[in-house]
Amino acid sequence: MNEQQDGAAPQHLTHVREDGTAHMVDVSEKAVTSREATAQAVLVTRPDVIELLSSGGLPKGDALAVARIAGIMAAKRTPDLVPLCHPLPLSRVSVDLAPGADRVVVEATVRTRGVTGVEMEALTAASVAALTLYDMIKAVDKAATITDTRVLAKSGGKSGDWSRS
């Protein structure tokens, strides 16, 4: 989609110079503000696999606990994984996993006081938690999929608050 959710067209890509080369955005003049972002990813699998996940019956152990910790660790490593992402002092990372009939909804919330947002950290946390779940269930369901990876909401900073609603 070329338009932002509010309908306004983006002015330019901030990580790309006029000549097309990539660069890390200079945020040195930006004000420090409280910032928060929530993202999700969804692991879709079979109901019998959800039962194994919920009961701790997988060969590799408690997948939900391992996925939660993996997501938290991933949020802290985002600048190592996403080349132009600024390292930020994260003040909170939470990863919630909600098993349903045939899926686990992963929701990650990240908070900081900084000069740039934490959407990438939230997306990384949700993605890696879902990848970890896949790794732990692939012995029993190689056809599982990860879907609906997206930012749900963000707050703080110059661009203000946004929610997928």
How many residues does this entry show for the chain?
A: 165
* Stated pTM of the model: 0.88
- For the annotated catalytic residues, the residue numbers are 135
How far apart are alpha carbons 40 and 101 in whole angstroms? 17
Given this model, what pLDDT does residue 145 score?
99
Binding site residue list: 84-86, 120-121
What homologous superfamily is domain 45-156 in, according to CATH?
Molybdopterin cofactor biosynthesis C (MoaC) domain (3.30.70.640)
Predicted confidence (pLDDT) per residue in 63-106, tens digit? 999 999 999 999 999 999 998 899 999 999 999 999 999 999 99
Domain ranges of the chain: 45-156
Both tokens of residue 88?
Answer: 């930020």
43: enclosing H helix or E strand: strand 33-44
